[in-house]
Amino acid sequence: MADTVIENINDYMLQLGRQARAASRVLLRADTAAKNAALLAMAELIEARADTLMAENRKDLEAGERNGLDAAMLDRLAFNPERLGTMAEGLRQIAALPDPVGAISDLNYRPSGIQVGRMRVPLGVIGIIFESRPNVTVDAAGLCLKSGNAAILRGGSEAFHSNRALADCIREGLDRAGLPADAVQVVGTTDRAAVGALLRLKDHVDVIVPRGGKGLIARVSEESLIPVIKHLDGICHVYIDDHADLDKAVKVTLNAKTQRYGTCNTLETLLVAESIAPRALTALKPLFDDKGVELRGCARTRAFLPDIGEATEADWQAEYLAPILSIRVVPGLDEAIEHINHYGSRHTDTIVTENYTRARRFLREVDSSSVMVNASTRFADGFEYGLGAEIGISTDKLHARGPVGLDGLTTLKYVVLGDGHVRG
C-alpha cells in the first residue's frame, strides 16, 4: 500500500493547517480532565492494538530491508510489545504531569488600581518534523496535547506505515475523550515537498520543532518562514579547575565522556588547569584507555601524555559522538571560559572546583543553555531536570533554552483585571 494520492501538495498542507488551527481553538478551552482522558485512551489503544501496529510496522521493516537500511536503523524502527508498552507508559506519565495551561502568576495591583498578571497559554499549532524513530510520533503528540497545542507531525518516510498506524490510535483516543481528532494530524504522504509546504504555513503554524540530524535541522532553519525551536551541536566541556577535588574531577569527567558516546550532552573537550594537569591527566589516562577512548591533546597535554595524538583546531570544533576526547591544558579559569564561549555550542558545560568564587564566575560567565558545577554534563536532560518529558534540547537563546518540556510549548499572555478602570 502506497500513500494516499494527493493531487496538490500545497493545497493538502494548507488543509491540514486550517484543520489544526480550528482544533487549536478547541484545545485552548479544553479542560485538564479531557486532555488526560485522551492521553490515557491513546495509551490503552496502543497496547490493545499491538498486533495491528506490528503488522503495519512490518511493512516499513520490509521496505527498509529492500531499500538497504542498515541493521542499526532497522532496529530503531522496529516495534515489539515492550517498545509499544514504553510508548503507552510515556503517555501515562504525561497525563500525570501538572497541566501548565491557564496558570496565572504575578497577579499584582498597580498604582492605577488595575491588577496585572500573566497567564500561561498554548502556542497554538506546532509542526514537528522528525526522522525514523516512530516513538517521536507518540511523545510529541502527547506533549503537544497536554500543553494545549494542535500538532502536525511529519515523520520519516521509512516509518510511514508505523506512524500512520500510531496516528490512528492517537486520533481515536482524542475522539473518545470528546476532543477534535485534528488536534494531532500526521502528514499522509512521503512526498518531500510536504516539508517545504509545511515550513511556509506561517498563518496556520506557530512554531516548528525539527528533530533529527544536522542536515534536517539546517534545511528547516534555512527554509522555514515560521519560528524554529532547534537543537544544533552539543560540543560540551568539562573544566578541571586547579582547586578541583581530584576524585570528583575524575568521576565527573569519566561519566561525562563514557556513560554514552552518541548523545548531545556527552563531553567532547576536556579543559584542565595547568597546575593540576599532571595529576589529573595521569589519573584519567588509564581509565580512558580501559574504556577504549582515543585521546587527542594540545602540546602541553602531550608533554604529560606523550603517547597520545595531537589535537588540532578542528578538534576543538568537533562533536565526535564517539569514543574520542580532545584535551587542552589552560592557564586558568579565564582561558577556560574563553575557550568554551568561543568553541562551544552553548549546550552544556561543567566546572569541577571547590572554589566558591570560581564556581560563581563559571555559572554566570559561560554562555550555555546548561552550566554546571561538580556534576556530569550527562545530566542535561528533561527527565533529570524534572520537566517530566522533553520534546528536545534547544541551543537557541530566544524563547526556550536547554531541555524543552511542557512549559517550553507554552507562552505567557498578560491578564488585566479592573472594575471599570480607564487610563488618565
Residues 216, 407, 252, 327, CA torsion sign: positive
Shortest distance, CB of residue 157 to a second copy, whole angstroms? 29
Provide φ and ψ at 116, rounded to 5°.
-125, 130
Cell of 417: 483585571
107 binds a second copy (CB under 8 A): no
Give whichever of 87 and 220 is closer to a second copy, judged by the CB atom: 220
Q: DSSP string covering 28-80, please? A: HT--HHHHHHHHHHHHHHHHHTHHHHHHHHHHHHHHHHHTT--HHHHHHH---
Of 25, 192, 214, 291, the one binding a second copy (CB under 8 A) is 25
The set of residues, in sequence order, having a beta carbon less than 8 Å from that of 126 and lying 6+ positions away, is 144, 149, 150, 151, 152, 205, 206, 207, 208, 209, 409
Give whichever of 67 and 108 is closer to a second copy, judged by the CB atom: 108
33 binds a second copy (CB under 8 A): no
Shortest distance, CB of residue 381 to a second copy, whole angstroms? 8
Cell of 155: 515523520
139 touches 389 (CB < 8 A)? yes
CA angle 165, 205, 119 (to 5 degrees): 105
Give whichever of 300 and 361 is closer to a second copy, judged by the CB atom: 361
255 binds a second copy (CB under 8 A): yes
Of 99, 224, 378, 391, the one binding a second copy (CB under 8 A) is 378
Q: Which stretch binds a second copy (CB under 8 A): 25-33, 38-46, 49-57, 156-164?
A: 25-33
First-residue to last-residue Cα distance in the chain: 68
Pairwise CA distance, residues 154 & 137, whole Å: 9
Shortest distance, CB of residue 272 to a second copy, whole angstroms? 17
324 binds a second copy (CB under 8 A): no
Pairwise CA distance, residues 251 & 241, whole Å: 14
216 binds a second copy (CB under 8 A): no
Of 38, 184, 207, 264, the one binding a second copy (CB under 8 A) is 207
Residues 155-184 touching a second copy, rule: CB under 8 A, are none
Give contact residues for a second copy (rule: CB under 8 A): 25, 28-29, 102, 108, 110, 112, 114, 116, 119, 121, 123-124, 206-207, 227, 245, 247-248, 251-252, 254-256, 259, 341, 350, 352, 361, 363-365, 367-376, 378-380, 384-386, 396-399, 401-403, 411-423
